[in-house]
Chains A and B, each alone.
Chain A
């Protein structure tokens, strides 16, 4: 028997969401215990800060330029590499339960397998050669609309709950700007749904059900993928007592003074201020009709409170699943990897949601690898920069496989010394958005505690412009030092490294077949 792999992802979660990373609001004892017994990464970045590109990196072990899913709405090709296929080929049972999102969600033509599986209430399209190497797929997104399995389950079993969720899209099919709660914050709603019907609970229960279907001596790889704490922020009303929003402190990244906030924004690439003022909505991931400049401190508090309620529910659900795994006798051979696909502003810089903004709010992610106790790996915190691009090679390593040839990064290290040996010196992040003529392209490197972002030609930015942040002395990234002559040599060295390290972009870019 080999090691079992439980890969846990959340969606749009910040590094500081967790107690083990200094988070002081949500109580996350189950995740904290994984951190204490495992490897906790303090500088883990995604290779793109929205869902589909980032998730495509997780499964392929490739940068965005290589796998080609350059924005939400661009489907990952059916024949793209998948680490699940490699694991399945050596005898692992494989499952993906929860949010996949390698393919567009808005799919009225049912072109994509994820949606067809949900529509047909099937868990596989082909048992002999299953979609992306997963023997079993039961999928969910952020509510009860669409074709995926959770939506069908709610409609079949609790139709009265369909309307209890926030309505994600408005009448123009744009991300809804409608406000809710006590503060009228966008994408926030008091949801009367019972906790047992909420998708976090459903994902955990479907995971336990699949695990219980396996023989005791079977090796398995299970990707348990929670849709939360991604907006809409609509956790079960009965759980809101966990974090009373009026008692939530404003986050360190929220700049209360409006003139100071706007001065900081004006010192960044121009698209930041354009979005803040509501004049340049370059991507579909934030409400088109919401103006961030109108965000109030109380709205930030309420959004944060709802987010942390969702974080606590995820931690509870993980506790349930780990308990079920223990009861099967698998605990000693179980590796757990925990992360998310990208971050969330949650009030930093007076903003919510995400987009072409390469700062810690969106790029610094929680990442924990708790190796199987049988592997006797010493717990550690790793400060070296790593990326989600290393996940596929890590899963292969756990299963005793060679690093797959298609992957572009070494496995995750187990210490800073190991990081040096493996060559974890830098981590890269890309952004490309082209939405009805609004264009943003960014390329970013993080190395030596600096983050350097180069703009390519776009609607508001030109090649030669950029951002440079000193993470050690400016942890909130308030001071853009791109034009600071005293660090010009460092900037140029980082840029040289960036251009030398980025894989060549596969061209032509594939078409965007949906907004999300």
Chain B
């Protein structure tokens, strides 16, 4: 099992950041993917190399500000769970945490790398806003 965790402190109110991060259909606006489509509790994302991941949305907890999903129906991926948490640090500061647990373990690394890009984008979008 590969486990990877990336985080960023965003200088913005947690509810405001969560309103964006907790909208699964808006992933392509901050994460380095090319397309994102949501139907009910299903999401499909397309990577730049053309790979499509089918995902089940398993947690969308407005109180905890937690989003969890897993990649499904993929012959390569035996286990996956992705978790995004938005945790208030003060009125105008929050911690965004992106965790990936995955088998095959090595795939956790490029997803972690992409999460790093996504978190940097979130900071660009929300810092000081």
A residues near B, CB below 8 A?
Answer: 73, 104, 106-111, 115-116, 119, 147, 171-174, 284, 436, 511-515
Please pick, from B33, B47, B51, B106, the residue contacting A173 in the complex, using a CB distance under 8 A: B106
Residue of A104, A119, A171, A174 near B110 (CB, 8 A) is: A104
Question: Contact partner of B113 among A116, A119, A514, CB < 8 A?
Answer: A514
* A111 lies within 8 A of B107 (CB): no
How many residue pairs bridge A and B at CB < 8 Å?
68
Q: Which A residues lie within 8 Å of B104 (CB)?
A: 171-174
Interface centre among B2, B49, B114 (most CB of A within 10 A): B49
A111 near B106 (CB under 8 angstroms)? no
Interface residues of B (CB under 8 A from A): 2-3, 6, 32-33, 47-49, 51, 76, 103-107, 109-110, 112-114, 116-117
Return chain B residues, CB-CB under 8 Å to A173.
Answer: 76, 104, 106-107
Q: Closest CB of chain B to A125's CB: distance in Å?
A: 15
The CA of A108 and the CA of B105, in the complex, are separated in Å by 15
Q: Write the chain B residue with the least CB distance to A516.
A: B106
Do the beta carbons of B3 and A436 come within 8 Å of each other?
yes
Which residues of B sit under 8 angstroms from A119, Cβ to Cβ?
A: 48-49
CA distance A330 to B16 in the complex (A): 64
**Contact partners of A284 in chain B: CB under 8 A:** 106
Q: Bound complex: CA of A104 vs CA of B48, how far in Å?
A: 15
Which of A111, A116, A513 has most chain B Cβ within 10 Å?
A: A513
A interface: dominant SS: loop
Can you report 17 residue pairs joining A to B where beta carbons are below 8 Å apart?
A: A109-B33, A109-B49, A109-B113, A109-B114, A111-B32, A111-B117, A119-B49, A171-B76, A172-B104, A173-B76, A173-B107, A436-B3, A511-B6, A511-B113, A512-B113, A513-B110, A514-B113
Instruction: Identify 19 new A-B residue pairs, CB closer than 8 A, beyond the known A109-B32, A511-B112.
Output: A73-B109, A104-B110, A106-B106, A108-B49, A108-B51, A108-B110, A109-B114, A111-B114, A173-B104, A173-B106, A174-B106, A436-B105, A511-B6, A511-B116, A512-B113, A513-B112, A513-B114, A513-B116, A514-B109
Nearest Cβ distance between residue B44 and chain A, in whole angstroms?
Answer: 15
Shortest C-beta distance, A410 to chain B (Å), equals: 36
Report how far A108 CA is from B107 CA in the complex, Å: 10
User: How many Å lie between the Cα of A110 and that of B33 in the bound state?
Assistant: 9
A108 adjacent to B113 (CB under 8 Å): no
B105 touches A109 (CB 8 A): no
Q: Which residues of A contact B117 (CB under 8 A)?
A: 109, 111
Cβ distance A50 to chain B, nearest Cβ, rounded Å: 15
Measured CB to CB, the nearest residue on chain B to A512 is B109
Which residues of the partner chain B approach A513 to less than 8 Å between Cβ atoms? Answer: 109-110, 112-114, 116
B51 — nearest CB in chain A belongs to which residue? A108
| Cα–Cα distance between A122 and B104 once the two chains are bound (Å) | 32
